[in-house]
Amino acid sequence: MCGIVGIALKRDEAAPILVEGLKRLEYRGYDSAGVAIVGEEGVSVVKGVGTIDDLERRFGVSALSGGTGIGHTRWATHGGVTDANAHPHTDCSGRVAVVHNGVIDNFAELRRALEERGHVLRSDTDTEVIPHLVEEGLSNGLSPIQALARAVSMLEGSYAVAAVVSGRREIVVARRGSPLVLGVGEGGNMCASDVAAMLHFTNRYIPLEDGEVAEITPEGVRIWVVGPGGEMTPVEREPRKVDWTASMADKGPYDHFMLKEIYEQPSAIERTLSQAEVYSDRAIDLLLSTLDSGGRVVFAAAGTSYHASLVGKYLLARLASIQAESYVASEFEDWAIPHLREGDLVFAISQSGETADVLMATRAARKLGAKVLAMVNVPGSTLAREADEVLYMGAGPEVGVAATKTYTSQVAMLTYLTARLALRLGRGGSRAGEIADWLPEIPKIVEARLEEMDRLSKRYVDEIVSHHSVFFLGRGINLATSLEGALKLKEISYIHAEGFPGGEYKHGPLALISRDTPAVAILPREDRLRRLMVGNIMEVRARGAKVIVVKADGEEAPAEMEFPAAPEGLPEELTPIPFIVPLQLLAYRAAVALGRDPDKPRNLAKSVTVI
């Protein structure tokens, strides 16, 4: 999705800090970029289709002089991918420049009204109405912050907006429905779509809430909440500190962020388990109070987080004898809301904490009296602030669009939480205790096998990239692993990949199997499921498919290739973490072999902040 960054400095060096901030937002996905710098001669705007590096080569952005500026990476929604549609957008005079993330639902009516009043709009975007509305406010004698507050009061939809005005040192910002945080630093202050974009400058931030506007100057930040009549009431809010560092959001010696983040998983999981010890008691209390009052547990998540929720659903049933439901967040209002009632608990999972579908689901659930338990990775995110209780993963910033370390951290947190819950309830017998004992070993298990899994993925990748489709088979808890493995492959290599329950192959997918369709099978450790999966493997091999099997040591399966990803004796419930790692690496190696950029797959964004 679109990314915003802005800085107001005491010295005239805003441009290079803006460029660095924009680079840290590249993971969100974009097709064009631009900056606006306030200098002695007014507002200088440079923008265009392509990457931030392309912009630097064309315009020498970092050399622009000025202490205040805003920047933007655009992911096209309204209007095609053109230089004219890139942000920032300006008013008629060129004095006002605006960047925006979100969707303005009533932009067509606003545009017609502005044009009738003599304004000339030059793009096809919804955003361009905003600088012209600000221009009108300024013409009526309003200050920049008042003019922006007036402008956004006319908008319907979602927005995070940042604006600069010629001759002024401040940035004025507003937020409703799209993320925006303020950064508090030495020698200046910032705003950005997320904390990671500011880490090169500061690790102190203030989240901006819906319905608020703020003024950012080199000396400080001021926040107001805008009332229904347009009145502005000052808000006092202390900065928070995030324990992320700038180096955490750098590639270091790795070719891509995705590879770095795959290799970071042992330390990320270890941090998550430490975080689980801090946050799990309150989460368990909320779960217990829900169950005691007869409420149900309902997961809401999207993409990779949805696959993690399937693991959570399985573990709750298997260890704690709790029946939970799991819904794709975009379908939540149609499938879950009709059955949701007061006292139920929505367990919302989102890496960014800003996923629009998840926020819509939780807000709809709260209107019915449901509680919300959130699991997020990004501190200060909207979902974290709106939830009744929060589980912070602590995986560190994840820059690659394809989730890797945040998925295994989510699964680790869910496993820890469920094992503890089962022990509190006196359920799960010795199994819950065994899983709790094994769980601290998982980071070591992953770390010990990473190099070998990567070596094997390089050996097997030719079998993957030489075909147009790959099918993944899973059973039991590792059905989620098959779905996640397929998602990783398709989203970064663009090879068609699908995950299925092993038993479903005879109900349709087997018709697609041939010599041209390799299969990846996740071999269960449980005897009954293992026998069934071996049968599935034999069926696809009989149709000419070559099989890659992911398994634990000591397990045998008829396959041409294998990833021994876990030690013998590891409980089945813990295998989703080590079993997904070779599939992440296989997807990464396939993308690289095909010349794709695994960090920035086409058409995709890291955080989906618009519906």
Q: How far apart are CA 569 and CA 210, in angstroms?
A: 50
Nearest partner of 370 among 282, 280, 297, judged by Cα: 297
Q: How far apart are CA 129 and CA 110, in angstroms?
A: 7
List, for residues 477-536, the tens digit of each pLDDT value: 999 999 999 999 999 999 999 999 998 888 888 788 888 899 999 999 999 999 999 999
Q: Which among 249, 271, 296 is the end of a domain?
A: 249
Q: Which among 234, 249, 264 is the end of a domain?
A: 249
State pTM to two decimals. 0.86
Could you tell me if 54 and 183 lie in one domain?
Answer: yes
**Gyration radius (Cα) of the chain, Å:** 25
Give the distance between the most distant pair of CA atoms in the chain: 78
Residue-level pLDDT at 245: 75
List, for residues 276-330, the tens digit of each pLDDT value: 998 999 999 999 999 999 999 999 999 999 999 999 999 999 999 999 999 999 9
Q: Which residues contact 365 (CB under 8 A, 6 or more apart)?
A: 298, 300, 332, 336, 337, 340, 344, 346, 372
Nearest partner of 583 among 478, 467, 511, 444, judged by Cα: 478
Residue 606 within any structural domain of the chain: no
Residue-level pLDDT at 225: 96
Count of domains observed in the chain: 3
Give the C-alpha distances (Å, rounded to integers) separating 227 from 106, 150, 363: 20, 11, 21
Q: What's the DSSP call for residue 208? A: P
Determine whether 573 is exposed, middle or buried from the number of CB atoms within 10 Å of its CB (0-12, 13-18, 19+). Answer: buried
CATH number, domain at 24? 3.60.20.10
Q: Is the dihedral of CA 452, 455, 458, 463 positive or negative?
A: negative
The pLDDT-based confidence of 610 (bands split at 50, 70, 90) is low
Could you tell me if 282 and 241 lie in one domain?
Answer: no
Could you tell me if 31 and 63 lie in one domain?
Answer: yes
Q: Are 548 and 559 in contact (CB under 8 A)?
A: yes
What is the SS3 assignment for 348?
A: strand
Nearest partner of 400 among 335, 326, 491, judged by Cα: 491
Could you tell me if 171 and 259 lie in one domain?
Answer: no
Residue 558 within any structural domain of the chain: yes
- Angle at alpha carbon of residue 298, lines to 293 and 303, rounded to 5°: 165
Determine whether 469 is exposed, middle or buried from the number of CB atoms within 10 Å of its CB (0-12, 13-18, 19+). Answer: middle
Could you tell me if 461 and 381 lie in one domain?
Answer: no
Q: Are 22 and 5 in contact (CB under 8 A)?
A: yes
CA dihedral 107, 112, 114, 120 (to 10 degrees): 100
Residue-level pLDDT at 589: 98
| b/e burial code for range 25-53 (CB count within 10 A of at least 16 → b) | bbbbbbbbbbbbbbbeebbbbbbbbbbbe
Catalytic residue list: 2, 606
Could you tell me if 264 and 236 lie in one domain?
Answer: no
Residue 607 within any structural domain of the chain: no
Instruction: Inform me whether the pLDDT recorded for 611 exceeds 70.
Output: no
Q: How far apart are CA 514 and CA 500, in angstroms?
A: 16
- Sheet order of strands, 181-184 included: 42-49, 32-39, 68-74, 3-9, 188-192, 181-184, 204-207, 240-241
Q: How much is the mean pLDDT over the chain?
A: 94
Residue 600 within any structural domain of the chain: no
Could you tell me if 204 and 318 lie in one domain?
Answer: no
Residue 198 within any structural domain of the chain: yes
Q: Which among 396, 427, 458 is the end of a domain?
A: 427
List, for residues 327-372, the tens digit of each pLDDT value: 999 999 999 999 999 999 999 999 999 999 999 999 999 999 999 9
Instruction: Inform me whether the pLDDT recorded for 246 exceeds 80.
Output: no
Q: How far apart are CA 184 and CA 195, in angstroms?
A: 11
Residue-level pLDDT at 222: 98
Instruction: Inform me whether the pLDDT recorded for 607 exceeds 80.
Output: no
Could you tell me if 314 and 258 lie in one domain?
Answer: yes
The pLDDT-based confidence of 380 (bands split at 50, 70, 90) is confident
Cis bond before residue 598 (omega within 30° of 0) = no
The pLDDT-based confidence of 175 (bands split at 50, 70, 90) is very high
The pLDDT-based confidence of 428 (bands split at 50, 70, 90) is confident
The pLDDT-based confidence of 609 (bands split at 50, 70, 90) is low
Could you tell me if 273 and 227 lie in one domain?
Answer: no
Q: Are 93 and 71 in contact (CB under 8 A)?
A: no
Domain with 97, as residue range(s), is 3-249
Residue 611 within any structural domain of the chain: no
Mean pLDDT of 555-569: 94
Give the whole-number percent of the chain exceeding pLDDT 70.
99
CATH number, domain at 563? 3.40.50.10490
Q: How far apart are CA 130 and CA 144, in angstroms?
A: 12
Residue 434 within any structural domain of the chain: no
Q: How far apart are CA 390 and CA 249, in angstroms?
A: 23
List, for residues 30-57, the tens digit of each pLDDT value: 899 999 999 998 999 999 999 999 999 9
| b/e burial code for range 192-230 (CB count within 10 A of at least 16 → b) | bbbbbbbbbbbbbbbbbbeebbbbbbbeebbbbebeeee
What is the SS3 assignment for 370?
A: coil
Residue-level pLDDT at 513: 83
Could you tell me if 292 and 412 lie in one domain?
Answer: yes
Q: How far apart are CA 376 and CA 374, in angstroms?
A: 6
Instruction: Inform me whether the pLDDT recorded for 244 exceeds 90.
Output: no
Give the whole-number percent of the chain exceeding pLDDT 90.
85
Q: Are 450 and 264 in contact (CB under 8 A)?
A: no
Residue 432 within any structural domain of the chain: no
Could you tell me if 332 and 378 lie in one domain?
Answer: yes
Could you tell me if 229 and 378 lie in one domain?
Answer: no
